[in-house]
Amino acid sequence: MPSDAIQLAFVTYSGEPEIAVDDLPLSRELERRGVVVSSCPWDLAEMRSGSARNVLIRSAWNYDHAPQAFLQWLIDLEKRGARVINSSRIVRWNIHKNYLFEARDRGATLPQTRKFVPRNSDPRTLAAEFSSHDRVVLKPCVSLAAHHTYLIRTGEIVSAVCDLPNPEREYLLQEYMPEIEAGELSFVFFAAEFSHCVRKTPKQGDFRVQGDFGATRNIHVPTPEQIQEASKLLSLAPEVPAYARVDVVMRGSTMVLMEIELIDPMLFLGWAPHVAARLADVLLRQFL
């Protein structure tokens, strides 16, 4: 290995410690450019010393179980001089769904959304707030990949809230958007420049758009106006991320924000030609 070779650790987790399948095209492109690539499960004790000088957060798919520990690990890495991509500042902003309310305050359109802590909330009042909707989505404020996310009838809100296992945890109630059955659009950006868009369509009878739940994913060609609107949503982030995904649902001509994914989103690198090469070039030119 040349002494001046860039070394880059892909942050993973102990459940799947190797580089994720979706990220293999990127690791190969980086290696072609002389980068020494490795994997780094963030939650293994031997990895917590933080020896890596450059780390790319890609598949830390259990950080929702210990979000503060994960964030502190990234902060400690940066204090020791490591370059973290995306930065701990971005992760801090994105790890809790409070950013959705900030986005709404700055002009984004959201589904009707309410944050609550079960111990401090009257479930009957919550049910009354959503009485105009037939169904709602219930999920934690720190979550990923639809973990602990449920679609329930509005009439079930009271019992569902009372049955939540952790009454101290923060949750969201959100109106169910039937438009998601036609697909959620994921706009992928590298250094704030639009790269490609994927339509994620849930299987019939489901609402979840993750492949683990049978959703299909296909390249989608958005309009220039949609790209511009998604770019505006991304500009809400506290700094320019190396990679980002903006997930929206179209309600007529209105773009409704579902998520801005800046921590370890699937980037669909195998769905379009030259995408992985483009991201490798961006990383080397602007972030490494």
pLDDT in tens, the chain (288 residues): 555 789 999 999 999 999 999 999 999 999 999 999 999 999 986 555 556 789 999 999 999 989 999 999 999 999 999 999 999 999 999 999 999 999 999 999 999 999 999 999 999 999 999 999 999 999 999 987 656 788 999 999 999 998 888 888 999 999 999 999 889 999 999 999 999 999 998 877 666 656 565 678 889 999 999 999 999 999 999 999 999 999 999 999 999 999 999 999 999 998 888 999 999 999 999 998
pLDDT at 44: 87
Reference 114, options 142, 88, 83, 137; nearest CA is 137
pLDDT at 146: 57
d(CA 112, CA 251): 13
d(CA 237, CA 53): 24
CB 8 within 8 A of CB 53: no
Place of tokens 């002009």: 107
pLDDT at 149: 83
CB 259 within 8 A of CB 98: no
Q: Which structural domains are found in the chain, ordered by start? A: 7-94 (3.40.50.20), 113-176 (3.30.1490.20), 179-262 (3.30.470.20)
pLDDT at 272: 85
pLDDT at 47: 57
What is the model's pTM? 0.93
